[in-house]
Amino acid sequence: MTTPELVLGSPATAGPAACPTAPAVAPVRPLSDKTLVLHGEHLTVPTYDRTALTPAVVHLSVGGFHRSHQLTYFDDLAQLRISADWGVVGVGLRHRAMQDALAPQDHLYTVVERSPDGERARVVGVMVDYLFAPDAPDAVLDRLADPRTRMVTMTITGAGYPLDPHTGALDLTCPDLQPDLADPRRPSTAIGYVVEALDRRRRAGTPPFTVVSCDNMHRNGDATRAAVVGLARQRDEVLARWITDRVSFPSSMVDRITPQTTEQERAAVARRYGVDDRWPVITEPFSQWFIEDDFCNGRPPLDAVGVRFVPDVAPYELMKTRLLNASHSALGYLGTLAGYEQIDELMGDEVFAAYAARFMDAEVTPLLPHPAGVDLDEYKAVLLQRFANPAIGDRLPRLCRRGSTKMAHHLLPSLRQSLTAGRRPPLLTLAVAGWIRYLQLHDAVEDERGAELQSLARAGGTDPRSVLSVRPVFGDLADEPAFVADLTTALRDLVRDGVRQTVGAAVRRSRVLGR
């Protein structure tokens, strides 16, 4: 039996009805605690006492997704007045821009949910403080070591976990990790901050906090545990054992499409709602959060606002990463090659819409476990609707970022599993060919391995073996002759026939195969 909230997600519980034709609001006022009452005339604002919130959650690396997703759940919790125990402190690790935007407006910001039927807006107030770690490392460590902190969440991307992709163990050669290894008491990475803070809590006799990764990685809780325990072991075996025995690292699955905010959207928020917000967030109504029910220092009652606590998050995580994230990567590269700029425009092209549906139905779904309470057919239908949402206008360059991490985590596992089962999946293979062709044709590639992959892709031409030699990304795929042959053909077809014709032919071939 399908559980609707598992399939369709949980739209925010607060917010005015969608109003696609709402008139412009005047005057435009800055966003702050002092102006909240005035802004309440035009959109939903916090009605709880922000000063009464206990700073129990520290989030490492605050970006648009965290502000559209996890913070809205905690804001809903505060709004329901179930508990004031779960205020959030944000921490920036690399870029000062978020602090510059949030500090003048008392850490308030606007979330606008957009659907084809209209939009609704709210101000989120559950963030009680924000610290920029490079400027205030001691303040960050003090917050993390504070007994009131009971949960640490992270959105540091897959590249933020310094793990060997083959063994899953800490990669001691990772360049970002070197400062933490040299001076562990002055950390620079998220993992380093967590380890140092846990050591301070252990020495002070303070209970540890639960660490929750909100990154799109397979078993992100296990990855976090491996990174944290591995780094702790480099400084103190006793600390490593204490963390292993006492700290919870539940895996979680998060989902909400959140494009980058443009200046035009910022101006539109000011015009429609009268809010001069330095950095609003634009997102979709859909939202999901699954967390394994494993907490070592109190569990926030997030199930009251739509979060699902489950014994094992793996089936839900695989469902999301291999259907949504892998499709995003495939469509991002192929759509960019076809000249599209937004995914909703791409989904309006019947060739690419058919590719997306067939990609999920024929080549990914048969490899997935069945998550309890989810109708996969309905889930995929909703995914296609979300991709086609013109109100979001999710841009393809966002989907093309960090390919070496995203492809390795989300798409290549399905490809490898298909090959192991004796299948030769044309649509998964074409996605890899599209990525290689993208690397050959685009100079501005946002990827930690971008320069290396571009150089190899361009040197190889229509022979992909040079790119496949990057084993930290592709593993042993270069040792699969049938796959290498199919990938070579797909790459040659892209060069010779163009992307749209090649995609259409691959979809027809997939249907002939009947899988």
Residue range 483-494: mean pLDDT, rounded = 98
Note the pTM of the prediction, 2 decimals. Answer: 0.89
Q: Domain boundaries in the chain? A: 4-311, 315-513
Element housing 387 (H / E)? helix 376-387
Residues 403-459 have pLDDT tens digits of: 999 999 999 999 999 999 999 999 999 999 999 999 999 998 999 999 999 999 999
Do 152 and 209 contact (CB within 8 A), yes or no? yes
3-state secondary structure of 386: helix
**Would you place residue 515 in the very low, low, confident or very high pLDDT band (cuts 50, 70, 90)?**
low
Residue pointed to by tokens 């094992």: 312
Single out the residue of 262, 9, 236 nearest to residue 112, CA to CA: 262
Provide φ and ψ at 452, rounded to 5°. -65, -50
Instruction: Give the CA radius of gyration of the chain.
Output: 23
pLDDT for 284 beyond 70: yes
DSSP notation for 107-163: T-EEEEEEETTEEEEEEE--EEEEEETTT-HHHHHHHHHSTT--EEEE---GGGS-B
Which residue type, as a one-letter code, is found at position 42?
H
| Cα 126 to the center of its chain, rounded Å | 21
Single out the residue of 287, 292, 295 nearest to residue 309, CA to CA: 292
The HSE-up count of residue 275 (CA atoms within 13 Å, CB side) is 34
pLDDT for 13 beyond 60: no
**Would you place residue 23 in the very low, low, confident or very high pLDDT band (cuts 50, 70, 90)?**
low
3-state secondary structure of 283: strand
Single out the residue of 515, 296, 500, 355 nearest to residue 425, CA to CA: 515
Residue pointed to by tokens 């892709």: 457
Q: Hey, what are 150's tokens?
A: 């009971």
Alpha-carbon gap, residue 133 to 139, rounded angstroms: 8
Residues 317-375 have pLDDT tens digits of: 999 999 999 999 999 999 999 999 999 999 999 999 999 999 999 999 999 999 998 99
Alpha-carbon gap, residue 129 to 132, rounded angstroms: 10
Provide φ and ψ at 66, rounded to 5°. -60, -40
Do 315-513 and 4-311 fall under one CATH topology? no
3-state secondary structure of 65: helix
Q: Hey, what are 436's tokens?
A: 């290689």
Q: Hey, what are 354's tokens?
A: 């058919």
Residues 290-318 have pLDDT tens digits of: 999 999 999 999 999 999 999 999 999 99
Length of the chain as a residue count: 515
C-alpha angle 415/419/421, rounded to 5°? 120
Alpha-carbon gap, residue 490 to 488, rounded angstroms: 5
Do 368 and 414 contact (CB within 8 A), yes or no? no
Single out the residue of 269, 191, 216, 193 nearest to residue 69, CA to CA: 216
Provide φ and ψ at 235, rounded to 5°. -115, -30
- Identify the pLDDT of residue 513: 81
CATH number of 4-311: 3.40.50.720
CATH superfamily for domain 315-513: N-(1-d-carboxylethyl)-l-norvaline Dehydrogenase; domain 2 (1.10.1040.10)
Range list of H helices, 2-108: 4-8, 36-39, 64-68, 70-80, 97-102
Residues 178-204 have pLDDT tens digits of: 999 999 999 999 999 999 999 999 999
Percent of the chain past pLDDT 90, that is, above it, reads 90
Q: Hey, what are 276's tokens?
A: 């001069």
